[in-house]
Chains A and B, each alone.
Chain A
Amino acid sequence: MNAHEHTVEGPANDVHELDHHLGDYKRIIAVLAVATLVEFGISFLITGGKLPLVAGILVLVGIAFFKAVLVAKFFMHLRYDPRSLAMIAMTPLLLASFINIICCFDAIKGPAI
């Protein structure tokens, strides 16, 4: 029997799933746009002296990571992909976060050299 006579089960792409993803994309772009505007607002509060610098930095970095996670989960499909792929993506990011946390000690205490 010719191999091409096999029936490949299931459609290539589930339309309902695609519709669901498309709805997510629209919601995420709206959240990203609003979050960017909020970042601007906080930045102006910092430069205007109405928000303490350290608090402002913590909020800004928090929003930036929130936006980055949204892009990775929804636009880069980590939310829909198998967990093993997310583990591959997360491993270097965990190492990177560790390096950056060590560098933040420098930012608090001053560099060793």
Chain B
Amino acid sequence: MKKQKIGDKEAFTKIVISYENDLYKIARTRLQNDDDISDVFQETIINAFKSIKKLKNTEYFKTWLIRILINNCNSLYSKKKKRKEFFIEDLQEDNYRIEDDFENINGELSFNDMMKILNYDERIAMTLYYSEGYTNKEISKILRTNENTIKARISRAKLKIKKMLREC
């Protein structure tokens, strides 16, 4: 992927569209509302396109784009929190209820079910690890957190999912 290629508006859009599903999953870990996700997508694309020249190594384009997306999601989330526009799901985030409806109760969980079971830190770590295939070290760099913290979050999330699967 050459820098000139990414710098071109059409090529840039094409590349971003190819990450559509991944970006949506990552945004969903923080935001529940599709309108908010659309806003964050727009902001991310504008920010990324404007600062594409700052990207030194185009190999890390996706990681860089994800980093911008996460920053934008977090800032929108904190803005909404300040304005006290809480989402019901966010309020339930830390005290997850077993009686929540799951999409599939035949011992199989979907991505949306995962979102209900886990809290934000676990959701984002698990999505980056299993969906995007990043290593713990890479995730710690993306989230600017300690590598051991990421390991702990992933193992905690696994335990929760295991428990949930047993109960299904």
A and B form one complex: no
Residues of B within 8 A of A (CB): none
